[in-house]
Amino acid sequence: MSLLGAEAPDLFSALDFARVDVLAHPSIGEISGAPFNELISGLCSGEQPLDILCLEGSVMRGPQGTGRFHMQAGTGTPMMQVIADLARRARYVLAIGTCAAYGGVTAAGGNVTEACGLVFEGQEKGGLLGASFRPASGMPVINISGCPVHPGWVIDTLVQICHGRFDAASLDAFGRPRFYASHLVHHGCSRNEFYEYKASAQQIGQLGCMMEHLGCIGTQVHGDCNIRRWNGEGSCIKGGYPCVGCTEPAFGDRDHPYLETPKRAGIPVGLPTDMPKAWFVALASLAKAATPERLRRNAVAETIAVHPGAGPGKHSK
């Protein structure tokens, strides 16, 4: 559904441009019933070629590995069997969304449905198809993780594939396209000035940085969410709520409430991963001591309470 929001170009123009011919899609495809199942069996048997398989949603293997929690309608076949058969025929295989990639929220809380991703189960390699699985093109399974995915992540991937410009080096260790996963959500954060000075929001809805108290993990999470905007101009942070890490393989379970930052001796657990903790703490306390009054007050307000002073001009030497 997120993909339907693609813009400039819209979804169908983008598919035309990428020369993608949609054979079947559960939400937008034309055919139902027997013709649909005939098409799927033709693809599974190899009678009809399949260039790209996109899976949305996790693979339900339960109960007890039977797959009966998710049956393909009108066939009596477990969906996990259909997915495996299609994946073995496809030239490229894409997992769209964190559930299809890693299991996601459907695998949370003890995973009663035995949900997993195509080649991952959380951070562990394996999943439905196994760690060594490669589709016909030799390209690993492409995990466009995100809950939701940005429509641009899917379209940019498809267009590059169709132009032969997407290879294994385009992916990170979790199979995610590097063009978005080599960014951190923190990049382009609209609250960066608050972050720099550790001017923190106390309650959700306030303007300050959400890392210290409200569970934001955007400094560690992979995604270009604040560079490539959502629905025209949005992002989680711009919408006033923290990054909950929806592109990460572990998304789904958290050992503390999502909207709270766990702390040890008053210091947030889970600081940026690639700098020494002592330096971060030292910098943070320096920054805190230097926080301008404007940021200190705005951080705990819903709308700007103290406005920036007169900007630089001829009197500002």
Which residue's CB is nearer to other proteins, number 70 or number 284?
Answer: 70
Query: C-beta of 141: minimal distance to other proteins in Å?
Result: 21
Nearest to 286 by CA among 197, 194, 192: 197
- Sign of the alpha-carbon torsion through 280, 307, 205, 107: negative
Strands 52-56 and 92-96: parallel
Please say which residue, 175 or 223, places its beta carbon nearer to other proteins. 223
Q: Which is nearer to other proteins, 241 or 280 (CB)?
A: 241
Which H/E stretch holds residue 15? helix 11-17
CB 313 to other proteins: min, Å: 24
Q: Residue 259, class by beta-carbon neighbours within 10 Å (0-12 exposed, 13-18 middle, 19+ buried)?
A: middle
CB of 314 to other proteins, least distance (A): 29
**Nearer residue to other proteins within complex by CB, 142 or 149:** 149
Q: How far is the CB of 285 from other proteins (least distance, A)?
A: 28
Which contacts (CB < 8 Å, 24+ apart) does range 206-211 have?
206/299, 206/300, 206/301, 206/302, 207/298, 207/299, 207/300, 207/301, 207/302, 207/303, 207/304, 208/295, 208/298, 208/299, 208/300, 209/299, 210/237, 210/241, 210/242, 211/242, 211/261, 211/268
Is the CB of 167 or the CB of 260 nearer to other proteins? 260
Q: Which of 140, 86, 85, 141 is nearest to 117 (CA)?
A: 141
**Residue 159 CB, nearest distance to other proteins (Å)?**
17
**Closest approach of other proteins to the CB of residue 138, in Å:** 30
Nearer CB in complex with other proteins: 166/248? 248
